[in-house]
A and B are shown apart, each in its own frame.
Chain A
């Protein structure tokens, strides 16, 4: 079978994610097993919850036998950030077939969001296939990492710091967005908001900083509108 150009492109774009989600998925399984829980459950959780930070948080909370309610509440502060990711793709996903739409929505995690946002729909490629593979690969890395982790957890070497590749990936996109748009606010506001939010509410600062950015952009839109009306 010939591989379509969409698969190849999606794979190439997902390589940084491989080095981040793969090892992290493994680490999740290793910690899960070390906590004394059954190994088969770890990949299942990675597949059905598919949210790195939420899984690590939940793992530490179930070890302390926290109530289901408190776990879901704490997790929702992390999970809610994904609700804002969809805002960028309402139009793009609208025309997709039903099953694909569902998969794309569920699979819209940090890395997928980053890749899809940086690679808008283009005439040269089949956007259905492209979106599908961009969403599929990170999911495979995460679940695959979890499977490998639970099978081989005694033998795995852990390289300290390999996860920085994901940080670097997000950072490269920051640089590229800046070079493309020269929007100084996009550098200043996230820094400002996250440090203020961290100082006030260190546990929920990410969600708060995202909300602050959304509010900031909404106000910015209003200002642009007003200055357009004036001129």
Chain B
């Protein structure tokens, strides 16, 4: 019902948040795929790095700015105490920054050294972040704990 009651001044921050999150999901899906196939085809290490650097990180920035902007407009008017879905969103967003930076670092190492272990770490981090993103969108769209 929030969508029905929401004032139009909240629309752009929400759009930025949702659009960033959707592109971020797509970028992590591409990263996961590229990193797993890259175990057999080392040339894909470079594509994995670029998917993270040029797509996932900018999308994360858009998602996080949108989230903070929307939160600053909504939370005083809608909640006395942050519900579960807001907490899940913040945890996944902020933990996601760490995972993204680690994955990008390992992707650089993988691209330069061609060491298989670096590729496997990137795959593991990408799968972990993909799962966290799914949990976050389910929590936030289902308004868990409201």
Q: Real complex partners, A and B?
A: no
- Interface residues, chain B, CB within 8 Å of chain A? none
- Interface residues, chain A, CB within 8 Å of chain B? none
